[in-house]
Each structure stands twice: as C-alpha cells, then as structure tokens.
Amino acid sequence: MAGDTLTSSEYIKHHLTNLTFGKSPETGWGFAHSAAEAKEMGFWAIHVDTMFWSIALGVFFLYFFKKAADRAVAGIPGGLQNFVEWLVEFIDESVRGSFTGRNPLVAPLALTIFVWIFLQNLMDLVPVDLIPYVLGEHGLGIAHFMKVVPTTDPNATFGMAIGVFVLILFYSIKIKGLGGFVGELTLQPFSAKNTVVQAIFIPVNFLLEFVSLVAKPLSLALRLFGNMYAGEMIFILIAILYNAGLVLGLFGGVLQLGWAIFHIVIITLQAFIFMTLTIVYLDMAHNEH
C-alpha cells in the first residue's frame, strides 16, 4: 500500500490528489506527478479520474436500464424489472409530491440525477487502496494518483449543479418571460405603490433575490461535495490504522465495517437530497408570482 512508504500526512495527501492532465510551466503537457505540479497546471487542467469514473458509471447506468427495458415482460416480471419499476415509481412519486407544474423532462432528469449520483457515491465503499494499488506503481503502473469517487471532486459536483442551474434559468424565462423573471428579481420581497419608494427598493430586492438565486447551485454542489469528501477522509484515516500494528489494525477493520454500513445511508441520502432540491428548484422556476 501507499501507506507502507509514506508518512500519514503524505498518505492522506496522496489519496486526496486527482490524476491530473494539463500543461505544466516546466514540462509542458502531461500528467502531474505531484500535488504541487497539479496545482501549477491551473484552471484548464483535467481531472482524468473524475471524468473517467463519472462517465463510466453513467454508461453503466444506461446499460443497466436498457437491459431492464429489453427484458421487460407484461407477465410475471423478473428481479431486474421489479427493481427498475420500483425505482421508477419511487422517483415518480417524489416528482408528483414536489413538482406542481407540467414538464415531461423533470421525472427523467430526477431519475438520472438520483441513480448517477448514487453510483458515484457508491464508489466510496470500494477500499481506498484497492484501485490505486492495482493501477498504480505497485500494479499496472498506469496512474500514480487515482480518486475513484467523482463526488469528492468539487469540479464534478459544481458541474452537475451548474447544469441544473442552467435549466432553472431557462424555465424561469420560458414560463414567466424575460420581463417576469427580471420582475421577480427586482420587485419582491419589498414593494410599494409609490413609484419613488419602489425605485429605491429595486436594488435592495435585486441583491436579496440574486443571492437567493446563486445560493441554489452553491447549495447543491457544496452539500454533496462536503458530505462525500468527509466520508472519504474518514475511510482514509481508518486505513492508516492498518499500518499501526495488529491491535489497531483489527480495530480499524471493525471501524471500517461500521462506517461502511452507516455510509450506505449517507450516500443514498445525498443522492436523494440533490434530486429533491432539483425538483423543488425547477418547481419554483415554473411558478409565477
């Protein structure tokens, strides 16, 4: 393991560093071989591990549901069909309970968000050293760094949140019109019949409503990232115990099992919260004041 040759702080830093591809001021284009080199690559660097695992899990999600659809029968359903139908009904009930408008996009979007984020979060249950060991210098030698949980990367969570935010803006303008959308940002919560007083309220209203609007993608991204990053950090800290002797190693095994069981609830809850907030925010975009 990496912990056999690294100090505890170096071990933690190693597992929290993404496999980064970008342009280094010193060596040009290529993969970063240290956290400092990855930082030097700047904004346009790509986290290859985040991209690979998120896309791979998305493809697995599509394959899984396509396979269930191909095997669907009108008679007695199999286990796979039962599971997919239960999941679709669960998402449909969540949308009906939180979305009051009419939009055929919302339910498929909610299903995609929930399953995709759940699969990304589920990677947190893979032992922290397993995949890095297989792909790293002790195994195939393909990658020096490898983070397998995309949702522990703020680039991934902000990417999904910005996608939802674009839909919020699109439907806010489509349903209410540009004037109605601007009016929501400037004519509430404070209003007055006097024109002069209302003009004074406009910048105050805009400041309050703009902060509320921007807080939506921030709340989506940071909540998911913060919870998953903290969960990954705990798994890494527990893994360090395996190099601290037999007694602490056994204690670490018990802790890891307990935290993994509890973490199943967390990864499911975080996917559900992201999905539910998306539904609620889109519902707000469809409602005219």
User: Nearest to residue 15, comparing CAs of 163, 232, 226?
Assistant: 232
Give alpha helix (H) positions in 99-187: 106-122, 130-135, 154-186
Strand partners, 46: 21
Residue of 103, 155, 223, 243 with catalytic role = 223
212 in catalytic set: no
pLDDT by residue for the chain (289 residues), tens only, comes to: 444 566 888 888 888 888 899 888 777 888 888 888 888 888 889 999 999 999 999 999 999 999 988 887 777 777 888 888 899 999 999 999 889 888 999 999 999 999 999 999 999 998 888 888 787 766 566 677 889 999 999 999 999 999 999 999 999 999 989 998 898 888 888 888 888 888 888 899 899 999 999 999 999 999 999 999 999 999 888 888 887 778 888 888 888 889 889 999 999 999 999 999 999 999 999 887 6
Residue of 24, 121, 205, 227 with catalytic role = 227
**What Å distances lie between residue 264 and 80, 227, 231, 237, 238, CA to CA?**
21, 12, 11, 18, 17
The residue count of the chain comes to 289
Residue of 34, 103, 219, 243 with catalytic role = 219
User: What is the token pair recorded at 174?
Assistant: 């489509």
Question: How far is 264 from 208, CA to CA, in rounded Å?
Answer: 37
Number of domains, the chain: 1
Rounded to two decimals, the pTM is: 0.88
Q: Tell me which residue range forms the domain holding 102.
A: 2-286
219 in catalytic set: yes
9 in catalytic set: no
What pLDDT score does 13 carry? 85
